[in-house]
Amino acid sequence: MSLKIVMIGSGYVGLVSGACFADFGHSVICVDVDENKVARLNDGEIPIFEPGLEDLVRTNHLAGRIEFTTDLTAAVAQADVVFIAVGTPSRRGDGHADLSYVYAATKSIAAALTGYTVIITKSTVPVGTGDEVERIVRETNPGADFSVVSNPEFLREGAAIDDFRRPDRVVIGTEDDRAIAVMEEVYRPLSLNTAPLMFTGRRTAELIKYAGNAFLAMKITFINEVADLCEKVGADVQAVARGIGLDNRIGKKFLNAGPGYGGSCFPKDTLALVKTGQDNDAPLRLIETTVAVNDQRKRAMARRVIAACGGNVRGRTIGLLGLTFKPNTDDMRDAPAIAIAQGLLDGGAHVRAYDPEGMAQASKVIEGIEFASDAYDVAEGADCVVLVTEWNEFRTLDLDRLKSAMTGHGFVDLRNVYRREELEAAGFTYSSIGRGDENRGVLTAPEVTA
């Protein structure tokens, strides 16, 4: 049965989810307060980069299964299901999740309800938010017939469409039989893929999302600290990661040493979970440490580059390959590249950078760097090149061409994409993360006049 679904918010989660629900055969209306964004979407212009999303939206828009509007009242009035997919950024000053957008959307939804409607929080929200959403609806529209459900998203940027279509699990927080029946219909097309629909209490569902992200962030931070130890004792963190990852109790994913985690989820969600623990007298010490270590690591990567350049980058040109927090996205939120670039600029370096998709967004958050046209343009006249984000096009660089464009010979690999032997054969001084004896040498710093 095709349902009438309304998605409040046409950002990353709302747009991907809305397009996928439309592809399931449901009738979807995406609502956003940004008139310019809605106009662009109706013209077929996608405001974010996500592989496959443009074609998916275009196909379903032409088929009449998805539309975009600023008119929330008209959309909600005809809806069977309303998803709240607005932002929940860290609140300024204290790190709690800012729920003002969620609650504003809730009030507008409540005023527009007609007939039985399931209201679903798709946004990542702290434990108890669903209770407050329910209270607001009852207060705003005492006669409304509705249920409130928690249905957190687990989409990886760069692989979101595949994750939506082939999920590990679909967590649905409700104990209301009517809501359960509706949610089963919402996700019925996934039954061919035997997707595990997991029904829980609403508060449990809200916590599953935060606990999952915090655990993955902690896993990344763990292997980064192990990488630092590997460098001190002459061990190889990639072999260590493989050795422990082959244990099924641990698993191999999220054990790639690097410059720290970033993005739209891990930084704000770990911080929000820490605040929730503190507010409920159940401090989460491991997550508190994860947040602190990750913040420190990003800036430390700039110091690593400076050390590889002999301890001085003043007047030198440093090239950055990649800016986004991960490949296959244009998302610059909390990307390690921000702290790395700033640290190099503070050290007096001239910073040139290239990213296949992220430069427009990077220009809004990093001041004082030069943007290049490709990887080899980045290397032109550079003393050192730093691989920051492991885009596929950076995995098979023409090393001879790269080296010939440079003034110096430094290559700092913050993602462990290359092998020391091939870089040294091409004439580079190579530095990587957590690979023991590979990081013994540094570049000789030339004399530079201030």
Residues classed as catalytic: 265
The three-class DSSP label of residue 221 is helix
Name residue 87's beta-bridge partners: none
β-bridge pairing 81-84 and 4-8: parallel
Residue 87, C-beta contacts closer than 8 angstroms, at least 6 positions apart:
9, 11, 98, 101, 123
Residue 349, C-beta contacts closer than 8 angstroms, at least 6 positions apart:
313, 314, 315, 316, 317, 318
Edge-first strand listing for the sheet containing 81-84: 66-69, 27-31, 4-8, 81-84, 117-121, 146-150, 170-173, 197-200
SS3 content of the chain, % helix, strand, coil (to 5): 45, 15, 40
CA 237 and chain centroid, separation: 24
Q: What's the Cα-to-Cα distance from 230 to each of 167, 224, 435, rounded to whole Å? A: 35, 10, 6
Structure tokens at 349: 């370096």
Name residue 118's beta-bridge partners: 81, 147
Name residue 317's beta-bridge partners: 350
Structure tokens at 18: 């809305």
Q: What's the Cα-to-Cα distance from 269 to each of 12, 48, 287, rounded to whole Å? A: 16, 21, 10
